[in-house]
Amino acid sequence: MTSEDERRVFVLLDKKSNQNTLAGHVAYWGDFNVPMGCYSLPGLVYSQVDALKDEYLSWIHELGEYRVCGRRLREYLRLTDGLSFWWMTIIADKHVMRSPQIYDILRLRALERLYLSTGCRIFILQSDNRQLHRILSEWCRRMGHSYRWERQSHLQEKIDLRGFFRKLPHPLQALGSLIRRIWSRYRHVRSGTAIPQTGRQATVVSYFPNFDRDAAARGVYRSHYFTKLHDLLDREKWCINWIWVFSGDEFTFPEAMSVRDRFNKNHKNRYYFIEEFMTIRTLLRALFLYCRLVVRGVSLKAVRRSFILPGSSINFWPILSWEWKSSLFGTAAIDNALLTALSRSIANKLPRQDWGLYLWENQPWERAFISSWKQHGHGRIIGFQHTTVSYLYLRYFEDKRSYALATDPPPLPDLLAVGGAAALELFLRAGFPEERLVPVEALRYLYMNDAVKRLSNRKKRLKRILLAVTGYRPEVTAEELRLLAAAASMGGLETYDEVWVKPHPFCPVESILSAVAPGLEAKIVSDPLEELWPHATTVYASNSTTAAIEAAMAKLPVAIHLHSRSLNISPLFGLADVDFVSRPEELANFLKEPRKISIRPDFLYLDSNMPRWRRLLTPDKEHTVRKKGTGH
């Protein structure tokens, strides 16, 4: 091959390869640490991240504008009053953890820009990724460029039970999901405490369990999401209807029902699971909505041609085709139909509520709940941004044009209660309606007031301890610990006496540690973070945990693991002096010379007296929303 031919060749590698055997322009699909002269697509994504984020949000908006049968897609998928199912699809949800393929799409767009800038006309893919092959081969065909796929292995794909289920026709998947819900939950529902029909009432929607177990032993419900707000609510004369969204991680549903009964015996408030509002009529309505959605979905086959980012010519339909079909025919479709029918049943059975408060994460169930709440004439509905906000957690944001839609806009709460100045500014820059934003105290982090005082008064530690806080995904956790072991081999832990690993409750690390870092001496701890901060000297955290924020507020040096094959959703992303580490030498250097993060004092609102919440919820004071141009 001549030097001229080599300049026309572009090679995309999914795995590390011997650079000496490669000619032309070389890019790596999933690595930051690449040979000299090569390109890292993850690195390119972060160098273009603002433009890529805007393009993706713009594409979501434009897809909602897609014309079918003379109507926009949003209108075409409006199956019930006030709610378009478009906003409940996995595509419009934009959940980067549920749809990690979003990162693939951003990398494809960065790849396209890079490839076109090189002037190459020969594309070689070295990968086992069949979806990537389908997308790139079609792209090159349309451009008239030469394309070759060099598979790196020919092993048969292993399919587990979950993989087998995902390959079934989507209506069968929907049927299986419905049967599973009926068997695991609905059949266990029994009549609970009747909903009061008099008195001053309000509703709070939260997740179950995540409550204080010591208080529960006394029959008292205290949610870790709302912490001190319980005290404020208890002093007022409302009867609070707590409605729980069940998570089956710690309790079976029958066990959860027994816990509910215990709480209902000992308090003026009332507690319900959303499943308790299921009736035969509600189930039939859900099935009717699902059937309507399927009928509408059949007419949308041509929409696959619109799976192209603005300014791009790469069609990424193969990456999101399962999500699209699941949203119209499969598990997401039946789940959303059930949630919509249940939301209507809840809003209908509740007497008029003064106000409603729910944990805001911009999930599909929230959009159904908002729509039904407003349709039935209840008081204002307030979303509470209960955790930190990440710049790249796309679920939290929409294209600015979507917020301004006159018909079928995204369902929004009347007010969004925001827990810090940093998040408030993010929402404002994203175009979220300013008049709907109201600042409140970040309830889950109020403990940091006492923690910071204790930390500032602590005596000199006898031991230097590195606290590693891991995430919830096993593959990311494995890479985080592998990086720590590699940094240790470079002398990064020489000045530390102990290494403590605090795992995510959904991702135990014992087997991961023995597999990827057998030589790393580490103590696995399960204590709450507030009890661990006084012992820690330095913190090394996953980018998916909010622990990095708490460590920074505790004035501890913190480095954040940057995983090359998933988006960086750290709430500290964008701060100038944060150490994001993806290479062993980066982590080793940080551990040898750790530095603290400069974090603004109002990053989170942490006034323990909760004056903002009092202004928002106290009935004898007129609520005033934040005036335009102010921070209060």
Return d(Cα 284, Cα 253) in angstroms, integer.
23
Shared domain for 137 and 211, answered yes or no, is no
Write down the pLDDT at residue 588. 96
Shared domain for 146 and 203, answered yes or no, is no
pTM: 0.93
Please compute Rg for the chain using Cα positions. Answer: 26
pLDDT bucket at 154, cuts 50 / 70 / 90:
low
DSSP 96-111: TTT-THHHHHHHHHHH
Q: What is the CA angle 106-125-475, rounded to 5? A: 55
Single out the residue in 277, 293, 315 at which a domain terminates.
277
Q: Is the pLDDT of residue 516 over 60?
A: yes
Query: How large a percentage of the chain has pLDDT more than 70?
Result: 92
Return d(Cα 502, Cα 488) in angstroms, integer.
18
Q: Is the pLDDT of residue 221 over 50?
A: yes
Shared domain for 42 and 141, answered yes or no, is yes
The H-assigned helical ranges of 299-446 are 317-328, 331-349, 364-375, 400-403, 421-430
Provide the Cα torsion 90, 188, 352, 265; round to 10°. Answer: -130
Write down the pLDDT at residue 382. 98
Domain span at residue 207 reads 199-277
Q: Is the pLDDT of residue 261 over 70?
A: yes
Shared domain for 130 and 237, answered yes or no, is no
Coil/strand/helix, residue 565: coil
> Tokens 């005596």 correspond to what residue?
459
Shared domain for 142 and 221, answered yes or no, is no
Q: Quickly count helices (H) and strands (E) in the chain.
A: 25, 22
Give the C-alpha distances (Å, rounded to integers) separating 520 from 515, 516, 586: 11, 9, 18
Write down the pLDDT at residue 150. 92
CATH number at residue 456: 3.40.50.2000
> Tokens 């209660």 correspond to what residue?
417
Return d(Cα 245, Cα 251) in angstroms, integer.
13
What's the start-to-end Cα distance of the chain, in Å?
Answer: 66
DSSP class of 490? T
Which of the two residues, 456 and 503, has the higher pLDDT score?
Answer: 503
Single out the residue in 150, 185, 210 at which a domain terminates.
150
Burial class (CB in 10 A: 0-12, 13-18, 19+), 393: buried
Q: Across 380-497, where does the E strand assignment appear?
A: 380-385, 415-418, 437-439, 465-469
580 domain residue, yes or no: yes
- The tokens for 146 are 């030469």
8 A C-beta contact, residue 362 and residue 418 = no
Task: Give 279-305 pLDDT, tens digit per residue.
Answer: 999 999 999 999 999 999 999 999 999
Write down the pLDDT at residue 630. 39
342 domain residue, yes or no: no
Shared domain for 132 and 204, answered yes or no, is no
Q: Which residues contact 168 (CB under 8 A, 6 or more apart)?
A: 176
Number of structural domains (the chain) is 3
Q: Is the pLDDT of residue 236 over 90?
A: no
Please name the helix (run of DSSP H) or strand (run of DSSP E) that holds residue 515, with its range, or none.
Answer: helix 510-516
Q: How far is CA 306 from the centre of its chain?
A: 25
398 domain residue, yes or no: no
434 domain residue, yes or no: no
Shared domain for 137 and 212, answered yes or no, is no
Burial class (CB in 10 A: 0-12, 13-18, 19+), 530: middle
Residue 539 β-bridge partners:
467, 558
Write down the pLDDT at residue 624. 44
Closest CA to 604 of 534, 528, 564, 546: 546
Shared domain for 566 and 467, answered yes or no, is yes
Write down the pLDDT at residue 575. 85
Return d(Cα 514, Cα 459) in angstroms, integer.
35
Task: Give 354-394 pLDDT, tens digit per residue.
Answer: 999 999 999 999 999 999 999 999 999 999 999 999 999 99
Task: Give 407-448 pLDDT, tens digit per residue.
Answer: 999 999 999 999 999 999 999 999 999 999 999 999 999 998
Q: Is the pLDDT of residue 155 over 60?
A: no
500 domain residue, yes or no: yes
Task: Give 538-566 pLDDT, tens digit per residue.
Answer: 999 999 899 999 999 988 999 999 999 89
Write down the pLDDT at residue 226. 97
Single out the residue in 247, 262, 277 at which a domain terminates.
277
Q: Which residues contact 89 (CB under 8 A, 6 or more apart)?
A: 77, 323, 324, 327, 328, 332, 364
Pairing mode of beta strands 39-40, 25-28: parallel
pLDDT bucket at 629, cuts 50 / 70 / 90:
very low
178 domain residue, yes or no: no
Shared domain for 65 and 129, answered yes or no, is yes
Q: Is the pLDDT of residue 152 over 90?
A: no
353 domain residue, yes or no: no
Write down the pLDDT at residue 47. 95
481 domain residue, yes or no: yes
Shared domain for 223 and 113, answered yes or no, is no
Q: How large is the average pLDDT for residues 448-463? A: 71
Shared domain for 588 and 475, answered yes or no, is yes
Shared domain for 235 and 136, answered yes or no, is no
Give the chain's length.
Answer: 632
Return d(Cα 358, Cα 370) in angstroms, integer.
10
The 10 Å Cβ neighbour count of residue 444 is 19
8 A C-beta contact, residue 88 and residue 368 = yes
